[in-house]
Amino acid sequence: MTEEQAAGARDREYCERLVRLQGSKWKTLLHVQAPYRWNLRRLEPGFTLEVGCGIGRNLAHLGGNAVGVDTNPYVVAVAREAGYRAFTPEEFAATEWNRGGAFDSLLLAHVAEHMRRDQLLELLQRYLFQLRSGGKLILITPQEAGFRTDSTHVELMDLHRLRGVCDELGLLPVRDFSFPFPRVFGRVFAYNEFVSVSRKP
């Protein structure tokens, strides 16, 4: 198997895992995504570019008022099948939204922990020009218990690290908080998240 074939197999496996997890019957019955949908909407993101959109969970939370980008073509295909605007980076580059100031918010949810700090900086620098002046950068990452659930996680990105990245990019702090429970729960509750919101000058 070539390196390219191996990467494709990993992408397909990751997509299948996301679909399986999101489709769990107990999660559907208990509406476990409702608090996270509420939290994202209360940040009033407006027209959003989600980098690392996966199979479209946050695109759904945003009511379709968003465009998603993901390097995994399998998750992009699933998101499209669900009716969302989702593209690989190469496809996105050819769209009408690939221009300066096109978006009110830039969202990375459960993406930063999959890379090193320098890679995160590079990724954000690639897309920040598409965020309008005064627009928001919203970063959401898992806390300790959630970080341990995925072997593809690389670096725990807590609020201090996220704020450091935003400061280096020249962004202005708006709000940093733990959700849905206080920070202390993050060591035992896998779905506690760090949420960092910044504003582009």
Whether pTM exceeds 0.85: yes
Looking at residue 17, its pLDDT comes to 66
Helix (H) or strand (E) holding 3: helix 3-22
Mean pLDDT by 10 residues, the chain (201 residues): 61 70 52 91 98 96 96 95 97 97 98 97 97 98 97 96 98 98 97 98 98
- List, for residues 50-59, the tens digit of each pLDDT value: 999 999 999 9
Structure tokens at 149: 């659930």
Question: Helical H runs in 115-178?
Answer: 117-127, 144-147, 159-168
DSSP state of 65: -
CA 112, distance to chain mean position in Å, is 8
Phi, psi (deg, nearest 5) at residue 195: -130, 120
